[in-house]
Amino acid sequence: MKCQFCNCADSRVIDSRPTDDGNSIRRRRECIQCGRRFTTYEKIEAPQLLVIKKDHSRELFDAQKVKSGIIAACHKRPVSAADIDRIVSNIEQAASNNLQNEITTRQIGEMVMDDLRRLDEVAYIRFASVYRQFTDIPTFMNELNRMLGEKKGD
C-alpha cells in the first residue's frame, strides 16, 4: 500500500480488525521508509447486480429504493427501523446470492411482500396495493380474502 505521506510503495500491517458493520477490514499500517502510520480499509468487491424493470430496461440495484418503498408501506405502523433495515438487508443478500447478475423487479417485490406479510399485514397490504397496482375495490378485496383464507388454514 502506497504511503500517503512519502509515496513509498512499502508498508507493513500493524493491526487488522473488522469494522463495526462487519463489511470491511480496518488495517493500521506503518510506512517502511518514513515510519508514519496510516489507516486503510479493505472491502470485498461485490459484483454489480442489475435490476430488470417491467419495461425490460436495466439499472443498478439500489437498496435505498427498496427501503423507501418499505418505509412508505410502514408509515404510522408499529414497525421499527431495525425491522426495515433487516428486510432490506435480507433482500439485498438474497438478490446477491442468486448467483446471477440480474434480478427482476417482480422477484424483489415478491421478497418484500413475503417479509412484510410476516411482519405487519397492514404494511403488506399497502405495499401490495401499489406493487400489484390494485385499480379497484374488488381486486383489493380478493387479496384481503386470500389473506383471510390463509389465516384460516393456519
Please state which of the ranges 10-19, 36-45, 51-60, 73-82 shows the lowest mean pLDDT. Answer: 36-45
The stretch 45-71 carries a mean pLDDT of 90
Separation CA 29–CA 89 (nearest Å): 31
Considering the domain architecture, whether residues 68 and 35 belong to the same structural domain is answered as no
- For residue range 67-98, list pLDDT tens digits in order: 999 999 999 999 999 999 999 988 888 887 77
Residue 36's domain comprises 11-43
Considering the domain architecture, whether residues 38 and 60 belong to the same structural domain is answered as no
pLDDT of residue 153: 65
Any domain includes 5: no
Considering the domain architecture, whether residues 145 and 75 belong to the same structural domain is answered as yes
Considering the domain architecture, whether residues 39 and 54 belong to the same structural domain is answered as no
Considering the domain architecture, whether residues 69 and 145 belong to the same structural domain is answered as yes
Q: Provide the angle, in degrees to the nearest 10, between the axes of the packed helices 63-73 and 81-96.
A: 140
Helix, strand, coil distribution of the chain in percent, nearest 5: 45, 20, 35
Compare 123 and 136 and report the one with higher pLDDT: 123
Any domain includes 6: no
3-state secondary structure of 28: strand
Any domain includes 1: no
* Buried-exposed string 11-23: b where 16+ CB fall within 10 A, e elsewhere: beeeeeeeeeeee
Considering the domain architecture, whether residues 102 and 146 belong to the same structural domain is answered as yes
Considering the domain architecture, whether residues 23 and 71 belong to the same structural domain is answered as no
According to DSSP H, which parts of the chain are helical? 63-73, 81-96, 105-119, 121-131, 137-153
User: For residue 75, what are the contacts with CB-CB under 8 A and spacing of at least 6?
Assistant: 126
Considering the domain architecture, whether residues 86 and 141 belong to the same structural domain is answered as yes
Considering the domain architecture, whether residues 36 and 54 belong to the same structural domain is answered as no
Considering the domain architecture, whether residues 36 and 57 belong to the same structural domain is answered as no
Considering the domain architecture, whether residues 61 and 85 belong to the same structural domain is answered as yes
Considering the domain architecture, whether residues 38 and 55 belong to the same structural domain is answered as no
Any domain includes 4: no
State the average pLDDT for the chain. 88
pLDDT of residue 31: 96
